[in-house]
A and B are shown apart, each in its own frame.
Chain A
Amino acid sequence: MRDAFIVGVGQTPVGEHWDRGLRELGAEAVRAALDDAGFETAGALYVGNMLGGCVNGQENVATLVADAAGLLPVEALKIEAACASGGAAVRAAALAVAAGACDVAVAAGVEKMTDGAPDGIIAGLATAADQDYEASHGMSFVALSALLMRRYMHETGAPREAFAPFAVVAHANAATNGNAMFREPISAEQFGRSALVASPIGIFDAAPVCDGAAAVVVCSQEALRAHHKPVRIAAASVATDTIALAARSDVLTLSAAAVSAQKAYAAAGRGPKDMDLFEAHDAFTIITALSLEACGFAKRGEALRLAAEGCIAPGGCIPISTFGGLKARGHPVGASGAYQIVEAALQLRGEGGENQVKGARRALAQSVGGHGSVAVTHILEA
């Protein structure tokens, strides 16, 4: 397999884009990434998207975006892996280049959530869960997270407030990201006072419903140009776990996340200590905690201590969600994995601006779908 490099990144601001739909958002990110790379077109386009069918009534999203971005007759396929769709699209592009199927591939993620009515979006998100044994019993995505969080609190003895650092750090990082949805810092006190959505989950535990698109251009060594600042995809791996939470031998171990991280570490010949930053799937604070544990940054039940010690903040031992993460940059679900890769690549290019992690050479990015039923892990190197 050949090496694959990220040589272009593009993103739209995350938020409520009332004047733009899937096609406009997707095309803008794809064109921006190609412009950044200095390429006119690509050999393949992979588009991560989760809710196009059930919220927007639009499948065949990759063709839609290829058409809008002026890339026809390019090979274009939608990649769906619930909230990990964007990450999975990057993996598909990396595979296409590494296998020699093409020299230049574009991976994008796009989601247009705000067109849907709230109960339709809640039902749409729940399609990532087990329809027969979770969603059909009235389980919402937030409720599943609440079940995890309450059990975690029960086993560790941690209070709700102990999850505050994840949200506080995410909001602080988003404040200096011009593409972030929430650019207002919050305090631990505000976190503690926040309204409960599904106890013990409060509004500051959860990522917002929003729209956005992000894209990266992946190319082979042969296609690199002098002006590129290539970021090597040192590893890209996917693993799965039971679709229903209840069927897992330990619901507090995200084993798909752990297995995909172990595969990625092995492929890159690296370990957690070699990572300079971690773009975590912080859709809920409990998922951030479980992801940190799954990726080897903390032992089971010890992620909150890591957070309390300031380890996850800028300058800490493993800064996370460096541009605000899903929590505060925003979580347009099928696009979030692509945003993570864009942000990690910016860090490794030294173009993080006020959010730059000093001396960042290696980044871990992990996109988790369906409460850990699928996980995509990337290791990127400057």
Chain B
Amino acid sequence: MDLARYHRLRSAYYRLEGQRCTSCQAVQFPARTTCRICRARTLEPHRLSGRGTVYSHAEVGPAPRGFASPYLVALVQLEEGLLLTAQLTDVDPEDVMIGLPVEMVTRRIQEHGAQGYLVYGYKFRPILPRRKAS
């Protein structure tokens, strides 16, 4: 991924920032000029929850240039209702199923960009049990 493009995508990749429509309250990702539901232009930046469930999943066999297979990809349905495409991480393929609760984590997405840097962004992993605050 070219450096300028990576820079341009930073709020989406690092913070899952999409938009909320102040007319109909719909949430969308990625950002557009109009609301995908009511077509209003009254949109404000909105950070998505990063929590959801696996809506569908697949294991990538032959990988596109820049990626080393095998790895898992999924459509994740966020708590807000919308879907997101991402890789799954920190999970065995046989443990993945539709409905599995997952959360966003920031991980390396591409081994090397064209100029040798690393591209980081969101992936999803099974929700870890939380430790009780001491």
Residues of chain A with a CB closer than 8 A to B1's CB:
136
- Minimum Cβ distance to chain B for residue A249 (Å): 8
- The distance in angstroms between the C-alpha atoms of A245 and B77, with both chains bound, is 12
Known: A138-B67, A147-B74, A147-B75. A244 touches B56 (CB 8 A): no
B25 CB to nearest A CB, Å: 16
Q: Are B85 and A122 interface neighbours, CB within 8 A?
A: no
What's the Cα separation between A130 and B63 when bound, in Å?
A: 16
Nearest neighbor of A252 in chain B, beta-carbon distance:
B56
A197 to B70, CA, bound (A): 11
| B114-129 contacts to A (CB < 8 Å) | 119, 121
Q: Which listed segment binds B: A88-96, A148-156, A229-237, A356-364?
A: A148-156
Closest Cβ of chain B to A158, distance in Å, is 14
User: A82 to chain B: closest CB distance in Å?
Assistant: 15
Could you give, for residues 27-61 of chain B, a 1 whenever the CB lies within 8 Å of some chain A CB and a 0 otherwise?
Answer: 01110000010000000000000000001111111
A142 within 8 A of B: yes
Within 8 Å CB of A248, what residues of B?
Answer: 83
Which chain B residues in 53-93 approach chain A with CB under 8 Å?
A: 55-67, 71, 73-75, 82-87
Contact B61 A119 (CB under 8 A): no
Whether B56 and A154, one on each chain, are in contact in the complex, defined by CB atoms closer than 8 angstroms, is yes
Are A138 and B63 interface neighbours, CB within 8 A? Answer: yes
Q: Which residues of A contact B83 (CB under 8 A)?
A: 245-248, 251
B63, B64, B83, B85 interface centre (most CB from chain A within 10 Å): B64
Residues of the A chain whose Cβ atoms lie less than 8 Å from the Cβ of B67: 138
Indicate whether B109 reaches chain A with its CB closer than 8 angstroms. Answer: yes
Given contacts A138-B87, A147-B56, A198-B59, contact A251 B64 (CB under 8 A): no
User: Is the beta-carbon distance between A119 and B36 smaller than 8 angstroms?
Assistant: no
Name the A residues within 8 Å of B57 (CB-CB).
147, 150
A162 lies within 8 A of chain B by Cβ: no
Main secondary structure of the interface of A (DSSP, over half): helix
How many residues does chain B have at the interface if contact means C-beta atoms less than 8 Å apart? 36
Contact B74 A142 (CB under 8 A): no
Are A151 and B64 also in contact (CB < 8 A) when A132-B9, A136-B1 are? no
- Our count of residue pairs bridging A and B at CB distance below 8 angstroms stands at 109
A126 at interface (Cβ–Cβ under 8 A)?
A: yes
Q: A148-B56, A199-B58, A246-B83 are in contact. Are A135 and B36 (CB under 8 A)?
A: no
Interface size bracket, A side: 35 or more
Closest Cβ–Cβ distance, residue A80 to chain B (whole Å): 19
Asked if A137 meets B109 with Cβ closer than 8 Å, knowing A119-B64, A150-B98, A245-B85, the reply is yes
| Residues of chain A contacted by B22 (CB below 8 angstroms) | none
Of A148, A154, A246, the contact of B98 (CB 8 Å cutoff): A154
By beta carbon, the residue of chain B nearest A134 is B85
Judge whether B5 is part of the interface by a CB distance below 8 angstroms.
yes
Contact B30 A133 (CB under 8 A): yes
Taking a contact as CB atoms under 8 Å apart, the answer to whether A150 and B58 are in contact is yes
A176 to chain B, nearest CB (A): 31
Residues of chain B within 8 A (CB-CB) of A246 are: 75, 82-85
Q: When chains A and B are docked, how far (Å) is the Cα of A61 from the Cα of B130?
A: 57
Flag if B56 contacts A151 (CB, 8 Å). Answer: yes
B121–A137 CB distance below 8 A: yes
Q: Specify the chain A residue showing the minimal Cβ separation from B83.
A: A246
Contact A132 B5 (CB under 8 A): yes
Contact flag A198-B61 (CB < 8 Å), given A132-B9, A137-B85, A138-B87: yes
Asked if A137 and B86 sit within 8 Å, CB to CB, the answer is yes
Give CA–CA (A200, B57) in the complex, Å: 10
Query: Quick one: closest A residue to B32, CB to CB?
Result: A247
Cβ contacts A to B, 19 pairs, < 8 Å: A118-B62, A122-B63, A126-B64, A133-B30, A137-B73, A138-B60, A142-B61, A142-B62, A146-B59, A147-B56, A147-B75, A150-B57, A198-B58, A200-B58, A245-B83, A245-B85, A246-B75, A247-B28, A248-B83
19 extra A-B contacts, CB within 8 A, seeds A147-B73, A246-B75: A122-B63, A126-B64, A137-B73, A138-B66, A140-B60, A143-B73, A146-B59, A147-B57, A150-B56, A151-B55, A151-B98, A154-B98, A197-B62, A198-B58, A199-B58, A200-B58, A246-B82, A246-B83, A246-B85
Which residues in A have some Cβ–Cβ distance to B below 8 Å? 118-120, 122-123, 126, 130, 132-140, 142-143, 146-148, 150-151, 154, 196-201, 242, 244-248, 251
